[in-house]
Structure 1
């Protein structure tokens, strides 16, 4: 039998290209499974822990049964555990593994059959590992293959040399028809090393596909003279890609389009006629957004860096319609490309909104500082929007509206008192809210305080939230946020 084991190891290793050690390990697992099936399957020792050791030179093997030494209170599985009180404490400690050699099963028909199953599985794992190793470094690159067959959810792509990839239908370009034997290109976006599901995952719909094709068609990009900064796509319809030149003598847009549009047309043809806008990247957000919204002419842009949003102002309805584009394509892609939330409006609408916001600040100053409308309007016109700003700016700041020193001192004292009152009120609210929220299972003081600072002061407030509303709080992830929200909602059902 020992010679038979060595023969199996040698044969499988040579035929399948799997290491001898991997085959030995698979045989050891198979012998463990066969031993348990014969000796322990229908006994109270079905949970027995076994180990088989094969001599790599002779093929002889021995079988050992194992027991883990555990504390008395943890002794729940006598088949594979020893209580510390049942063994010699001078010889054994908690966590040790006690072994006893037991009868070995013959390497007969049952053991050989189980061994075959285990070896086949090991071979599959080894083959997947080889494919993963070969393609891991190619993630993000353009891959070429032939459509092998169509499944219900996608396509199997033959890459050659025994490697296959999977292209899901929702990763194809809408309305394109792929047929068996057809040669295609796609981006490799993931290598799945787990034993389930497709291993090499392709896409023709992701922005990375556009980037890879541009690198292929534009030598200046491959040579890093021109740099791609971002890309956004509505697959098969329209796309935007932003580029930056590292050589001021080269026009990045002209280089990407090519003589008479030959370069960009080659990319469009590969993407089923997708229209591609090449945008010049700029480190000035306003300039970058204006370029991304072309062919529309922008009258003005107001950037909010903190919120990563921008108000885009247009002089006419025609320009506004151009900026929005058919079914909102242009503004949606511009937003994805720049990373800014874009709010589009006409000049009249913007002025009206500005006046409304300014009036809110005027009313707040009139009420909280006990001043007249004229002075409040002057403060807003100077750019003041909060009590803290009025309270702590240098006194000479107010010279331009002609306030005397005494009035400035009085004004800033009022502003400090009002701001302090707001802080104390907020702290009290946070304290009260924290006490209620802290009673929840799974809540921490830090999370409760962060919720309270956002105005989530009661269990009902928390129950009204969506996961996305609070998941950015330190200490929370999607699962934890969901658990807290559902816990808060229990009162509704009770």
Structure 2
């Protein structure tokens, strides 16, 4: 294929046709042609030459040029594409390093192999441009719903035609009992768009919770307009789902708006999700109230929240236990996903039994430590005293408020409590010393003798050892393993040391050792405050 006047315009026509068919910029096709012709010319004139081709966008004329770059005297590596300043003087009056000397060379006559190679280059560049266009088109549609047509099934995964490309719906993203055949229409959620070596990959889902949220947005105009907001979604795909909604207009009932007249709106979503039962729940800022709503239809007697542990205990009547848990734990699992908390379900009988056990344990503590009779110990527990420190250091007036306790009795109680605490501290410190604890840790403010003994038994015997600890190692925490929250026991957790207190203790130790500069901490804290204030201002401006 020679580039002659007969086929110069044909180049432009071919580029236009390919660009229209692939819906890409014609310039990209022409640039691919220029690149392919340049490669063919290099095979004719020599691969070490810098041959460039420029196709005129109006006439289609292809101009072949050889480019040589001016380099330093001793820097010439490729004599075909580089020349020295002295050599360049025969072409330029005042050549400088970096200047380019361009000579036009005769067009090449492409043989069969060269023409085939050029065709492959053009096709590859067109494919790359098409992939870039597809990625740019679909990356902004991530998180939306798309309609497509099933093309084929590969190992349980569906390949879906979405117009200007293909998408994949993996089998684990399909609702359990769904089955599709080629040419079936399908609606799915664009979960992810990734650029991969084989081209952009669009991943669809019908099990993602946000798929249901987007369906409600399509069916409920109030959600689309922002009057009603979907705060949380939890799904057991194909079986049951819970969705929490709130209205920003007091005159509109969020649950009623989502249900629709005679259930028309929610039924449209249920139909798309293959009969998945949907509980629409009013969202509440109060976590306990929200959880009571989330556990519907079960009735809740009491809610106890442990915010630090991220757990919540729900007490239900005995006859409501199976309803609260649901079939195979479905109801409580969905409520847990909705609130983001671990939920323990207890019956009233189980909670009563546990309270009695705690009461008996605290009573025995006061009987043993303060040498009291059982009745008087029970009286202290009933008044809310849970440990010896509270008895020893509480204001005397609180003890005097207990029926039958006079000033002498109160002082005796406090004296016994303090004596017991001091004796316990003495034994703990002696044990810690035997384990090899150094003065640097003993003299560190904030640690009791019992805490020091507990640390020593775990091999932490110096202030340096303590400063290397992580806050969760001291206060304990929670780790998610295979979707389940697992408790990490802290070395000082039994002494009621919170995560924040552990952070402060460790940081104080590091400052004391000179590992951390307090002024840097203050600067970081000020920066965080500024960032938080800026974020708050941005949020207010958007609102």
2:130 aligns with: 127
Of 474, 492, 500, the match for 1:453:
474
Whether 1:266 aligns to 2:295 is: no
Of 254, 257, 268, the match for 1:255:
257
2:160 aligns with: 157
Alignment of 1:308-347 (within 5 A): 308-316=310-318, 318-347=319-348
Q: 1:122 to 1:248 in 2, by over 3 A?
A: same
Whether 1:194 aligns to 2:196 is: yes
Once the two structures are TM-superposed, the CA of residue 358 in structure 1 deviates from its matched residue by 4.0
Mapped contact 1:24–1:54 kept (Cα < 8 A): no
1:103-156, CA deviations, whole angstroms, 9 ceiling, x for partnerless residues? x9x896666655544443332232222122222222222211222222223212
1:93 aligns with: none
Distance 1:61 1:469 in 2: 72
Of 229, 236, 258, the match for 2:231:
229
Whether 1:424 aligns to 2:452 is: yes
1:411-467, CA deviations, whole angstroms, 9 ceiling, x for partnerless residues? 457658747112222443352599999xxxxxxx84x656853799xxxxxxxxx99
Once the two structures are TM-superposed, the CA of residue 366 in structure 1 deviates from its matched residue by 6.1
Mapped contact 1:31–1:115 kept (Cα < 8 A): no
Mapped contact 1:232–1:241 kept (Cα < 8 A): yes
Once the two structures are TM-superposed, the CA of residue 296 in structure 1 deviates from its matched residue by 1.0
Distance 1:112 1:394 in 2: 98
Once the two structures are TM-superposed, the CA of residue 345 in structure 1 deviates from its matched residue by 1.8
1:293 aligns with: 295
Mapped contact 2:370–2:413 kept (Cα < 8 A): no
Distance 1:378 1:451 in 2: 36
1:138 aligns with: 141
Q: Could you say what the CA RMSD is over the residues aligned between the two structures, in angstroms?
A: 4.8
Q: 1:370 to 1:392 in 2, by over 3 A?
A: closer
Mapped contact 1:220–1:255 kept (Cα < 8 A): yes
Secondary structure at 1:261 match in 2? helix
Secondary structure at 2:332 match in 1? helix
Unaligned ranges ≥5, structure 2 = 57-61, 70-76, 79-97, 426-446, 478-483, 489-498, 500-543
Alignment of 1:262-411 (within 5 A): 262-316=264-318, 318-363=319-364, 372=372, 377=378, 380-385=381-386, 396-401=397-402, 402=405, 404=407, 406-407=411-412, 410=415, 411=417
Secondary structure at 1:199 match in 2? strand
Task: Give the alignment's TM-score, normalised by structure 1.
Answer: 0.68
Once the two structures are TM-superposed, the CA of residue 193 in structure 1 deviates from its matched residue by 2.2
1:460 aligns with: none
Q: If you compute each CA radius of gyration, which structure gives the higher value, 1 or 2?
A: 2
Aligned residues: 416
Q: 1:206 to 1:34 in 2, by over 3 A?
A: farther
1:317-370, CA deviations, whole angstroms, 9 ceiling, x for partnerless residues? x31111111222111111111112111121111111223234444555666x55
Once the two structures are TM-superposed, the CA of residue 228 in structure 1 deviates from its matched residue by 0.8
Task: Give the alignment's TM-score, normalised by structure 2.
Answer: 0.62
Q: 1:426 to 1:212 in 2, by over 3 A?
A: same
Secondary structure at 2:298 match in 1? coil
1:197-222, CA deviations, whole angstroms, 9 ceiling, x for partnerless residues? 76221111111111111111111111
Mapped contact 1:31–1:111 kept (Cα < 8 A): no
Distance 2:314 2:452 in 1: 38
Alignment of 1:17-96 (within 5 A): 17-18=24-25, 20=27, 24=31, 59-60=63-64
Mapped contact 2:36–2:119 kept (Cα < 8 A): no
Q: 1:343 to 1:164 in 2, by over 3 A?
A: same
Which segment is superposed worse, 137-146 or 27-36? 27-36
Secondary structure at 1:193 match in 2? strand
Secondary structure at 2:460 match in 1? helix
Distance 2:50 2:367 in 1: 83
Mapped contact 1:434–1:452 kept (Cα < 8 A): no
1:383-411, CA deviations, whole angstroms, 9 ceiling, x for partnerless residues? 45566666776565544444746447644
